[in-house]
C-alpha cells in the first residue's frame, strides 16, 4: 500500500492550556496549582471551574 499523507489541522490547545496561558501572568505557579486542584475535584467541566476559580482567587486577592 502507498503511504497516505495525513491532512489535518495543527494541534490546538486544550481549554485548560489556554486558561493556563491567560492566568499565568497574574498568578505564581503555586497559586495556579491550587486552582487546578480545585478544578480537578469538581464534576463540572474543568475549564469552566478553572475560570471560576481564577476569578474568585483574583477577586479575593
Tens-place pLDDT, residues 40-49 = 766 666 677 7
Q: Which residues of 7-29 are buried (b: 16+ CB within 10 A; e: fewer)?
A: eeeeeeeeeeeebbeebeeebee
Residue 4 lies in a domain: no
Residue 6 lies in a domain: no
Q: Is 36 helix (H, G, I), strand (E, B) or coil?
A: helix
Residue 37 lies in a domain: yes
pLDDT mean over 5-32? 65
User: How many other C-beta atoms can be found within 10 angstroms of the C-beta atom of residue 52?
Assistant: 15
Number of structural domains (the chain) is 1
Residue 1 lies in a domain: no
Residue 19 lies in a domain: yes
- Its pTM stands at 0.29
Residue 31 lies in a domain: yes
Residue 23 lies in a domain: yes
Domain coverage including residue 20: 15-60
Amino acid at each position: 500500500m502507498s503511504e497516505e499523507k495525513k491532512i489535518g489541522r495543527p494541534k490546538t490547545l486544550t481549554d485548560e492550556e489556554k486558561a493556563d496561558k491567560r492566568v499565568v501572568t497574574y498568578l505564581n505557579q503555586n497559586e495556579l496549582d491550587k486552582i487546578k486542584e480545585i478544578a480537578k475535584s469538581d464534576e463540572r467541566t474543568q475549564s469552566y471551574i478553572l475560570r471560576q476559580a481564577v476569578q474568585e482567587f483574583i477577586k479575593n486577592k
